[in-house]
Structure 1
Amino acid sequence: MSLTLLIGGARSGKSSLAIDIGHRHHAAGISVTYIATAPVLDDDMADRVERHRGERPPEWSTIEEEIDLVGALRGVDSGLAIVDCLTLWTSNLMWRDLSDDEIRSRSADAVAAAAARAEPTVVITNEVGLGIHPETDLGRRYRDVLGWVNQQWAAAADTALLLVAGRALPLTDPWSHL
C-alpha cells in the first residue's frame, strides 16, 4: 500500500522520524511491528540496541532478524512495519560472504515483499556515498553495494525522504525534472 524510505547520514533523524511515524499509527489504533536487523557484536552496539528498545512502547511487536528480511516482512500480519535498517542488513549479508549479485537479488526480493504488503512499511537506511572515499577494498565494496540496495528501495518507494539535521527533503525520480 505504502512504502516509505528514510535515508540519511548518521544521527540525521531517520530513526527518530520512523519512531514518530510509529507512535502516530499506534495512537490511531494501528499495530506497529519493528523489524531490527542489528547484530549485537559489542558493548557499544548492545547499548544502542537497548536505547532503541527504550524508544518503543511495549505494545509494539519486535522481530529481530539479521538476514531473512523477506521472511520478517511476511511475518508482519497487519499494521505498520518499520525496518531498521538496510545499512546493517546489507553488511550482515556481506559478512555471510554473499556475492554482490546475491545481495542485490535478496534486496530485490525484500523490496517486492515490502511493496506487496497491504499496509504501510517504513524502511531506514544510511547514505554512505557522501563521505570520504573508503581506503579499503571492503569499504569501497560496502559503499557500492549499499548504494545499489538503496537505489532499489528508493525506486520502489512511494515516498523517499533524505534526512539532514532532523529535516527532510523529498527525493524524486530525476527523470521527472528532465
Structure 2
Amino acid sequence: MLHFITGGQRSGKSRYAQKLALEKSSNPVYLATARIWDEDFRQRVERHQSDRGPEWTNIEEPLNISDCEVTGRVVVLDCVTLWLTNLFFDHQEKSVDEVLEKAKTELEKLLEKDACLIVISNEIGLGGHAENALARRFTDLQGWMNQYIASRADEAIMMVAGLPVKLKV
C-alpha cells in the first residue's frame, strides 16, 4: 500500500501522515531523509522527533532508502523533497533525468519491501518560476517525482491549511 501526501510548507503533511501511521500500526517506522545543515534545521528535526512518542522506530537515511529494513512495517517516509535534495546535490554532474531515474529506481526497490508506505512530499512549483537555473532544475525534478509517486500511489492526499484534500482514492 502506498499513500502519497503532498502540500506546501506547514500544511499539516507530517501530522496527517503520523496520525495515519498510528491508525495502521502501534509501532510504525519514521524514515527521515534530512541532513542537518544548520542549527535552525537541527532544532526543527528535534521538534519533529519530540512530537513522536516512543512507539516510533526512527531510521535516518539521506540517500539509500531501499537499504532500510522495513518489510511488513508501516513506514512514514519524510520527506521526498529532502531526499531529492540530497540526491540532486550529490549528483550535480548528472542531468535531471538521470537523477530522476535514480530516485525512481530507489523508490521501486523500497516498494518491493512489502511495507505500507506513507510518503510525504512538497509541492514547490505552485508559486512563480524559480529565479535561477539550479532552482528550476530542482523544481522540475521534484514535480516529475511527485507525478511518478502519485501515479504509483493507492491514495494521494494534498494538505491545504491542515485539511486533507483527496486527489486519488
Please report the TM-score for the alignment, with normalisation by the length of structure 1: 0.87
Number of the residue aligned with 2:73: 79
- Once the two structures are TM-superposed, the CA of residue 168 in structure 1 deviates from its matched residue by 1.4
- Once the two structures are TM-superposed, the CA of residue 107 in structure 1 deviates from its matched residue by 2.1
Q: Is the contact between residue 37 and residue 67 of structure 1 (CA under 8 Å) also seen in structure 2?
A: yes
Number of the residue aligned with 1:176: none
Q: Is the contact between residue 65 and residue 110 of structure 2 (CA under 8 Å) also seen in structure 1?
A: no
Q: Which residues of 2 match residues 26-65 of structure 1 at below 5 A? A: 26=25, 29=26, 31-65=27-61
1:43-83 per-residue CA deviation (whole Å, 9 max, x = no partner) reads 111011001101111231111011112213xx113320110
Number of the residue aligned with 2:147: 151
RMSD: 1.6
Tell me the number of residue pairs that the alignment of Structure 1 and Structure 2 aligns.
Answer: 167
Q: Is the contact between residue 19 and residue 55 of structure 1 (CA under 8 Å) also seen in structure 2?
A: no
User: How many angstroms apart in 1 are the aligned matches of 2:115 and 2:107?
Assistant: 14
Number of the residue aligned with 2:22: 23
User: How many angstroms apart in 2 are the aligned matches of 1:105 and 1:84?
Assistant: 20
Please report the TM-score for the alignment, with normalisation by the length of structure 2: 0.92
| Residue 160 (1) aligns with residue 160 (2) | no
User: How many angstroms apart in 2 are the aligned matches of 1:160 and 1:109?
Assistant: 20
Q: Which one of 70, 82, 85 corresponds to residue 91 of structure 1?
A: 85
Deviates more, 1:40-49 or 1:16-25: 16-25
Q: Percent identity?
A: 37
User: Which AA in structure 1 matches 2:64?
Assistant: D
Q: Is the contact between residue 6 and residue 122 of structure 1 (CA under 8 Å) also seen in structure 2?
A: yes
User: How many angstroms apart in 2 are the aligned matches of 1:96 and 1:160?
Assistant: 29
CA 76–172 in structure 1, closer or farther in 2 if over 3 Å, else same: closer
- Secondary structure of the residue aligned to 2:156 is strand
What are the ranges of 5 or more consecutive residues in structure 2 without an aligned counterpart? none
Q: Is the contact between residue 107 and residue 152 of structure 1 (CA under 8 Å) also seen in structure 2?
A: no
